[in-house]
Every structure is written in C-alpha cells, then in structure tokens.
Amino acid sequence: MSKTRIIVAGPRGRMGLEAVKLVANEEDFELVAAIDRKYDGYIVKDIDGMPSLDAPVYTDVEACFEAVEADVLIDLTIPEVGYKHSRLALEYGIRPVVGTTGFTKDQLNELQQLAEGKGLGIIIAPNFAVGAVLMMQFAKMAAKYFPDVEIIERHHDQKLDAPSGTAAKTAELIQEVRHEKKQGHENETETIEGARGADVDGMRIHSVRLPGLVAHQEVMFGASGQTLTIKHDSYNRESFMSGVKLCVDEVQKIDTLVYGLENLLQ
Ligand SMILES: NC(=O)C1=CN([C@@H]2O[C@H](COP(=O)(O)OP(=O)(O)OC[C@H]3O[C@@H](n4cnc5c(N)ncnc54)[C@H](OP(=O)(O)O)[C@@H]3O)[C@@H](O)[C@H]2O)C=CC1
Ligand SMILES: O=C(O)C1=N[C@H](C(=O)O)C[C@H](O)C1
C-alpha cells in the first residue's frame, strides 16, 4: 500500500512540531513538504529541533502545492492563514485536516461548498483529543436536562483566540438541544465589564489564560440543589495526535466538510 503523502503547515509551532513527529513515526505516512513562513528553501531536518526528515520547506504555499504531490495538508497555524491554506489545498486537489481554530461560520460554509464542488474531503476539528470530544458530547446530553450552563475553558497564555474553538463548538452543540435562556438574575449588572463572560443565547463562556496551563475545559450545569460538572484536561500535545491520525485516514474517504471529530467516532 502506498504511503499517505502529507504536508504540514506551521511545523515549528507547538502543535505543528508534534504533528511532524507523528508523521515521522507512522509507517504509512510520509512528510513530503512543510509550509513555514521563515525557512523557505530549507530541508526539515536542517531546522533546529525538527526530526531528521528530508522534506523541503516552502514559504510560498502555491509554490509548494505546484511542486509537491500530496494527499493531505495538516494545518496548525492561525485562522486567516489556515483558511487560505485550506482553500488553496482544495483547489490543488489536496485534502485539508485543520486543527487551527477560529474560523468563522462563513468560512466554514465556503470551504464546505468548495470541497463538495471538488468532491474532496476536508476535516476541521476544533479539538483532536478523544476525551475532549466525549466531554462535548456528554455536555450536549446534559444540556437537555440542565439549561443553566457555564463553560469555563483554561489555556496557556500564548493562545491567540478566545473563546477556544472547543468552547465555541461546545456552545454550538448545546444550542442544538437547549432553548435560549438568559441565565442569572434578570437584573444582574456587570460592575466590571466582562465579569459574566461571553454570552451565547444567555449561556456564559469564561476564558482563562495562564502560563503553566495546556488545554482544559469544564462545562458546569446547575439546577435546584445540584450541580453537574463535566471536565477534560489535555496535559500535553501528544493527547491530540491520535485524533490527527484518525482525521488523516478518514479525510481520504470523504467528499465533503466534516466539522468536529465527533462525526468520525462510532
Ligand atoms: N484542534 C486541536 O486539537 C488543537 C488546535 N490547536 C490550534 O492550532 C493552532 C496552532 O496552535 P499552536 O501550535 O499552539 O500555536 P503556535 O503559535 O505554537 O504555532 C503556530 C504556527 O503557525 C505559524 N504562523 C503564525 N502566523 C503565521 C503566518 N502569518 N503565516 C504562516 N505561518 C504562521 C507559526 O510560525 P511562527 O513561529 O513564525 O510565528 C507557528 O509555526 C491554533 O489555532 C490552536 O488553537 C491547538 C491545539 C490543539
Ligand atoms: O490553542 C490551543 O492550545 C488549543 N486550541 C484548541 C481550541 O481552541 O479549542 C484545542 C485545544 O483546546 C488546545
């Protein structure tokens, strides 16, 4: 069987480096290029801290897609760049697996249309950790019975987007089963702006950013005389890699956009 030919965008990042290591360690995967904004013309193994791989590095994405035959692009960058990479990848017949968070609904719709037009798969997964996906699913189940809910996500202080993609996705899943409800006292006021967090149909999202954290989320439900808390912690970035591998395998079998790893789990 031939190997899956993979391009990683963002290879020096916290997640990108872990993804490069995954590709290096999987027998069925081959790194055919990396997209990096600083090391144009290098070979991956010549960049400090990278595994010993001979794949070329490109800064110009189109030049990369023109020159390199690839099956899958793994994107772990920033939203504007990840969106641009995904569009171009689809144009070039390469299937994107996107971990980058912060895409807008319009961007998701556009990518879905493009993927379907081309008959290609694309997977956008706000969280690749299986435990986090289960946490979101359990939260959705609980929200049917507990409409009062606050999401508290905690991340390292280098994270750019707030709320996290996982929190946004959790809120979307809860919205599917929860009727809009303003929580808290009807006359509550914020004496310091933002004290009650972000408001999604009346439910609240709180984003904590501190050094020392990796990626953590609690979904807390309350009802008369009881609370229920569903919690997930990622203590390192390896926790995301089995999900990345699953997405690389699955994206080659589909011809539309899949948003969320839960859609791939049996
Ligand atoms: N789906 C999931 O399970 C997970 C998703 N994420 C998401 O993945 C993304 C990356 O996270 P993380 O690895 O922690 O972030 P890092 O900041 O560590 O890495 C981001 C990478 O993107 C590159 N980059 C930044 N700006 C540009 C640009 N304008 N053009 C090209 N490359 C650029 C950076 O290069 P440079 O060093 O030069 O800035 C770096 O290599 C985030 O959106 C995060 O939310 C994170 C963890 C899990
Ligand atoms: O930036 C991160 O670190 C993470 N980003 C994703 C998100 O925004 O939900 C996934 C995970 O929480 C780690």
Question: Binding residue per annotation — 101?
Answer: yes
Handedness of CA 98, 101, 103, 108 (dihedral sign): positive
| ipTM of this predicted structure | 0.98
Q: Say if CB 43 and CB 11 are below 8 A apart.
A: no
Whether 232 is in the pocket of ligand 2, judged by its Cβ within 6 Å, is no
Give the domain ranges of the chain: 4-124+238-263, 130-234
The yes-or-no answer on residue 155 being catalytic is: yes
12 in a labelled binding site: yes
Per-residue pLDDT of the chain (266 residues; tens, 9 = 90+): 799 999 999 999 999 999 999 999 999 999 999 999 999 999 999 999 999 999 999 999 999 999 999 999 999 999 999 999 999 999 999 999 999 999 999 999 999 999 999 999 999 999 999 999 999 999 999 999 999 999 999 999 999 999 999 999 999 999 999 999 999 999 999 999 999 999 999 999 999 999 999 999 999 999 999 999 999 999 999 999 999 999 999 999 999 999 999 999 87
Estimate to the nearest angstrom the gap between the alpha carbon of 127 and the chain centroid. 5
SS3 151: strand
Q: Considering every ligand atom, which ligand is closest to the CA of 167?
A: 2
When the candidates are 2.40.10.340, 3.30.360.10, 1.25.40.10, 3.40.50.720, the CATH number that belongs to 4-124+238-263 is 3.40.50.720
Contact 7, 35 (CB under 8 A): yes
CATH number belonging to the domain at 130-234, selected among 3.30.360.10, 3.30.930.10, 3.40.640.10, 3.40.50.880: 3.30.360.10
Tokens standing for residue 106: 């319009």
Instruction: Give the nearest ligand 1 atom to 161 CA.
Output: 45
Supply the angle between the helices 241-251 and 14-25 in degrees, to the nearest 10: 70
Atom in ligand 2 nearest the alpha carbon of residue 102: 8
The residue contributing the CA closest to ligand 2 atom 3 is 215
Q: In whole angstroms, what is the distance from residue 3 CA to residue 18 CA?
A: 19
